[in-house]
Amino acid sequence: ERALGGCRWVQHILTYDNVNSTMDVAREAATSGAPEATVVMAACQSRGRGRLARSWSSPEGSLSLSILLYPSEDKLQSLTMMAGLAVARAISDAALIQVDLKWPNDLLIRGRKVGGILVESGYVEGRQFAVIGIGINVNLDAMKFAEIADIATSLSVESGAEVDVLKLLRGIIVEAEALYVNFNSQGIYNEWRQRLVTLGCRVTAVTGKAIIEGLAEDVKMDGSLIIRSDDGRSHNIIAGDVMLRHV
Ligand code: BTN
């Protein structure tokens, strides 16, 4: 709580040693009328979840948080981009490492995943709410990644030093507040697009319905990805995942 002292946006912060998922705690908070920018944090999660119904592992040393918001309709579609940018900016600041975004919102360092973002939304008494979930591998040593070292990493592995988790948390909140309160959809889109390593790469996209191979050409304002397949057709991918192939 002290770490966020002086940050007026966040008036309510709930911290736990262990919860199933901070997403569920934030949803419950919405139901009981918690204020805008309520932050839920847990040292560990026993049932953390990721995008596309995957599970998300959050052992001690990772940062797991959810932010509850009541966004207007125009802000809602930018929330994933906003969260990705806030985290990328904050990591660059706290750990002095360049972070890339992989569509739709994986946080990568040297091509390895260091964190992810999950946005869920719903209604409570007719009012729209959204929960931004952020999971970052902060101080996890290389042994934790032995089996997946080619696809995952942590901030401490990459920077060669322990990272101050509270400083990182504060940075994320400060950046998120700036993007959310001084909302500028074009600015958010432009910076997010610039940070995407996906554009210009050959990709294989897996959606619920199909597997599409081709060149990741661009993203739209709504966050969807445009892929040009080899037969010249253009595909608009709204949800799914891409594998990058280096040529
Ligand atoms: C992804 O890359 O698929 C998104 C991962 C999001 C994980 C975070 S950790 C905090 C919050 N609580 C959860 O259960 N998930 C998100």
Angstrom distances, CA of residue 24 to CA of 47, 64, 122, 131: 10, 13, 12, 9
Residue pointed to by tokens 């966020």: 4
Residue 44, domain CATH: 3.30.930.10
Determine the Cα–Cα distance for residues 42 and 167; give it in Å rounded to an integer.
16
Residues 143 and 221 in one domain: no
Pocket of ligand 1, candidates 14, 134, 148: which has the most ligand atoms within 8 Å of its Cβ, to mutate? 134
Ligand 1 neighbour 117 (Cβ under 6 A): yes
Q: Which domain holds residue 58?
A: 2-195
Per-chain mean pLDDT for the chain: 91
Determine the Cα–Cα distance for residues 196 and 187; give it in Å rounded to an integer.
14
Task: Using the mean position of ligand 1's atoms as its centre, give its distance from the Cα of residue 229 in Å.
Answer: 31
ipTM score here?
0.99
Using an 8 Å Cβ cutoff, are 221 and 176 in contact?
no
What's the average model confidence in pLDDT over 100-123?
A: 94
Last residue of a domain, one of 175, 195, 215: 195
* Diameter of the chain measured on Cα atoms: 57
Task: Using the mean position of ligand 1's atoms as its centre, give its distance from the Cα of residue 56 in Å.
Answer: 6
With a cut of 80, say whether residue 6 has pLDDT above it: no
Residues 87 and 59 in one domain: yes
What's the average model confidence in pLDDT over 131-135?
A: 98
